Structure 1
Amino acid sequence: ISKIKPGSGPGPNNPETVINTFTTADAIEMDFYGLKSTTVGEYYYKIVNSTSGEIIRSSKNEEPLSFNGQDRGNGTALDNVAPGQYDLNIYFKDELVYSTQITVTE
C-alpha cells in the first residue's frame, strides 16, 4: 500500500511512497508482487469508515479487478473521501486476505 499522485500510474515522475497516512489530494496504490501462476480470480478492495462501518468506496461493483497469475497493481483517488480513520480491506474470491488501517487528512 503506497501513496502516489492521482491521475497517473507510478513511475519516475510519480514515485510510490509506502505509508498509511494520506491526504484527500493523494491516491492509494495497491501493488501485488510475487503472485504465483496459479493465483487467478477476482479481487476487490473496500474502504470502510473505522467508526461507523460505512463502506466509503468499493471496487467490487464499480471496477472489476482480477489476478491472472502475474504481478499487478491498481489505485484509487481519495478526493471524495472525508478526513478520518478507515480500514482498507482487500478480498480475493470474496475472502478477506488483507486489512490495514489508513488515515486520511485534508
Structure 2
Amino acid sequence: MTEEKQLQCPMNLLMNSIGGKWKISLLWALKETKRFNELQKLFGGITQTMLTKQLRELERDGFVHREVYKQVPPKVEYSLTDMGADFLPILYNMNDWGAKHFEELKNKR
C-alpha cells in the first residue's frame, strides 16, 4: 500500500502519528504540563535527541503544544492541545485494559 493510501485510512494516519516507542507514554505523561527536563527524568532511558524528536513529531501532528518563555535561562513547557486532550479517554481505556490483563501479559513474556 502506498504511503498516500495509508494516510487516507484514519487508523493508519493515527498510528503514523502516535507510533513509536515513546509517544504514547509522552502523551500519558502530558496529562499535566511538564518541562523538558521533567520529561527526560521521567523517562530515564530516552536520549535528549530522541525526546526532542518525539515531542516535535507530536507537536507537528497537533497533539502537543510547546510554550517557550523568553527568560534566562530559557524555559520550555509542553502540554496537550485540545486534540491531544481529546485522545486522553483512549489512553485511559488502554491503561484500564493493560491493568486488567497485566499479569497474563507479564507471564507470557
Q: TM-score range by the shorter chain?
A: under 0.3
TM-score scaled by length of structure 2: 0.24
More relative contact order, 1 or 2 (CA 8 Å, 6+ apart):
1
TM-score scaled by length of structure 1: 0.24
Larger radius of gyration: 2
**Structure with greater helix percent:** 2
**Structure with greater strand percent:** 1
